[in-house]
Amino acid sequence: MVRHSVYFWLDPSLTDEQKAAFEGGLQALFRIDVVRSGSYGKAAATAVRPVTRNSFDYALVLEFDSVERHDAYQTHPEHDVFVNSFAAWFKEVLVFDTQF
């Protein structure tokens, strides 16, 4: 299994409507056929610690049955729709892929 964790820092000038559209775009990724499961959320209001980086706006977590399915997701047309629709709103994006 591969867990694909993506952290987004968005342009702070986005409106509530734009943020809702972004969340809809995240949800659409869950419906891609190679995705086993997915979820998204915002940074938790946990205590500040030297090892904690909770300044991100959204985190996306997708799970895949294999590296091959992860790789198919990366080139899937619906993934391209998401990137092309929202990339202009990203200030920073970090990706962490973990294999289990």
CATH architecture of 2-42+53-99: 2-Layer Sandwich (3.30)
Q: Over range 6-18, report the average pLDDT.
A: 98
- In terms of Cβ atoms closer than 10 Å to its own Cβ (0-12, 13-18, 19+), residue 45 is exposed
For residue 35, what pLDDT is reported?
A: 98
pLDDT class for 9, splitting at 50, 70, 90? very high
Strands 90-99 and 58-64, sheet pairing: unpaired
- Written as one letter, the residue type at 98 is T
Mean pLDDT of the chain: 97
Q: How many residues make up the chain in this entry?
A: 100
Q: What is the pTM of this model?
A: 0.94
Helix runs in 1-100, H state only: 16-29, 67-74, 77-86
What's the pLDDT tens digit per position in 24-65? 999 999 999 999 999 999 999 999 899 999 999 999 999 999
pLDDT class for 70, splitting at 50, 70, 90? very high
How far, rounded to the nearest angstrom, does the alpha carbon of residue 44 sit from its chain's CA centroid? Answer: 16
